[in-house]
């Protein structure tokens, strides 16, 4: 195996950005973290302190791109509203890109990222660009996908999935792009992965409530939502998304086929410990998303690195990510307007017939 190491920079040093930095710096043997970027000096100082004096730090993203001639890959983990612009700039410089979800805060921006990538591939066919949907790298989800792919449950026809976060009011911020586009997009990506990445969406409908924070309505958002996605191949998905779980993270998926069903994380648990006390018998669940999917993030970093160095296909197709974003945006719109959103077989929006 080649001893070459992928030269990586991470942009955005919030909670998720620092996790990515740690994974590429210490848990991805074929990668070398050479630079980080953040508009917050304190975050840069913390990164320098943790990763050592060799690390170069930048307050300005454009400056980092200009002053790192040996840079090969950028991990975009900044605020969601900056993802698309930063990804496009890196793509245009010929860099590999791993972008945290969501790829953008709008479908138009997501399509711009895909267009920039397709254009770049004409002269840089080995370039890799993907959005980081960590559940695809989770051992349990991969086992489930392998079973579905080999026909263990017949034809997968109904998909049910949820992303239910432990209640944390600090996440109810204006920077949040929307409950379907920010959180449920994980389940939408899984829908396409299990039901077929080329599945064409026929219609979506969603409803939501603001049980904890009514002010979310002013930002066209909710703290709980349910969506229905119908596909032209006769398959359907039901999605639940919530930000108010009391016990901890509850991410569960069911794939129902013509000859059986597979469930992933149907009974969430932190570990194999059961507590017997005066309240009864119980088990704890992960406190947050990272507690459930830490190993998946590490696998993601290593497989993305291998893809770049070995010139093998990226683990996740970018066009599939844009399709997921299309569905997420339509669900967000439907939740706010109360109207069903429909598409023709070419993927274009269609107007509803007036009664």
Tokens encoding 245: 């779980």
Angstrom distances, CA of residue 55 to CA of 25, 32, 70? 10, 10, 14
- Global pTM? 0.94
Rounded CA-CA distance 186/134 in Å is 8
Taking each continuous run of H as one helix and of E as one strand, the counts in the chain are 9, 16
Tell me which residues of the chain have a pLDDT lower than 50.
Answer: 1, 353-355
6-131 belongs to CATH 3.30.565.10:
no
Rounded CA-CA distance 153/236 in Å is 16
Cβ-Cβ contacts under 8 Å for 42 (sequence gap 6 or more)? none
Tokens encoding 334: 């439907």
Q: What is the pLDDT of residues 153-178, one digit of tens each?
A: 999 999 999 999 999 887 777 667 79
* Half-sphere exposure of residue 151: CA atoms within 13 angstroms, side-chain side: 0
138-292+324-342 belongs to CATH 3.20.20.100:
no
Q: What is the pLDDT of residues 216-240, one digit of tens each?
A: 998 889 999 999 999 999 999 999 9
Say what percent of the chain tops pLDDT 90. Answer: 92
Task: Give the largest CA-CA distance in the chain.
Answer: 68
Cβ-Cβ contacts under 8 Å for 29 (sequence gap 6 or more)? 302
Residues of the chain with CATH 3.40.50.720: 6-131
Within 10 angstroms of residue 336's Cβ, the number of other Cβ atoms is: 17
Closest alpha carbon to 275 in 262, 284, 286, 288: 284
pLDDT attached to residue 171: 75
Residues of the chain with CATH 3.30.360.10: 138-292+324-342
Q: What is the pLDDT of residues 249-290, one digit of tens each?
A: 999 999 999 999 999 999 999 999 999 999 999 999 999 999
pLDDT attached to residue 351: 65
For β-strands 201-209 and 341-343, DSSP reports them as: antiparallel
pLDDT attached to residue 355: 32
């Amino acid at each position: 195996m080649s001893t070459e190491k992928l030269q990586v920079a991470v942009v955005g040093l919030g909670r998720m950005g620092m996790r990515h930095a740690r994974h590429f710096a210490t848990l991805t043997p074929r990668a070398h973290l050479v630079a980080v970027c953040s508009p917050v000096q304190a975050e840069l100082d913390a990164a320098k302190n943790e990763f050592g004096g060799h690390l170069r730090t930048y307050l300005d993203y454009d400056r980092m791109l200009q002053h790192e001639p040996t840079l090969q890959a950028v991990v975009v983990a900044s605020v969601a509203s900056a993802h698309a612009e930063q990804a496009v700039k890196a793509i245009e410089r010929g860099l590999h890109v791993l972008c945290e979800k969501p790829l953008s805060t709008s479908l138009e921006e997501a399509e711009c990222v895909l267009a920039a990538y397709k254009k770049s591939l004409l002269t840089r066919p080995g370039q890799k660009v993907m959005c980081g949907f960590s559940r695809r790298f989770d051992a349990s989800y991969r086992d489930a996908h392998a079973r579905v792919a080999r026909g263990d449950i017949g034809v997968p026809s109904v998909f049910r999935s949820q992303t239910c976060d432990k209640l944390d009011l600090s996440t109810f911020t204006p920077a949040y792009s929307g409950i379907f586009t920010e959180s449920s997009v994980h389940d939408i990506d899984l829908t396409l992965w299990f039901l077929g990445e080329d599945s064409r969406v026929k219609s979506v409908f969603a409803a939501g409530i603001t049980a904890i924070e009514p002010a979310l309505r002013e930002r066209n958002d909710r703290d709980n939502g349910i969506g229905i996605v119908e596909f032209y191949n006769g398959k359907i998905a039901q999605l639940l998304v919530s930000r108010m779980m009391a016990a901890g993270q509850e991410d569960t998926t069911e794939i129902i086929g013509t000859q059986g069903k597979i469930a992933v994380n149907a009974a969430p648990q932190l570990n194999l410990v059961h507590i017997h006390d005066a309240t009864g018998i119980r088990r704890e669940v992960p406190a947050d998303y990272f507690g459930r999917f830490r190993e998946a993030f590490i696998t993601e970093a290593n497989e993305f690195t291998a893809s770049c160095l070995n010139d093998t296909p990226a683990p996740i197709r970018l066009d599939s990510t844009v399709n997921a974003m299309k569905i997420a945006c339509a669900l967000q719109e439907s939740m706010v307007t109360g109207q069903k959103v429909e598409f023709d077989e070419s993927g274009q929006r269609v107007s509803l017939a007036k009664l």
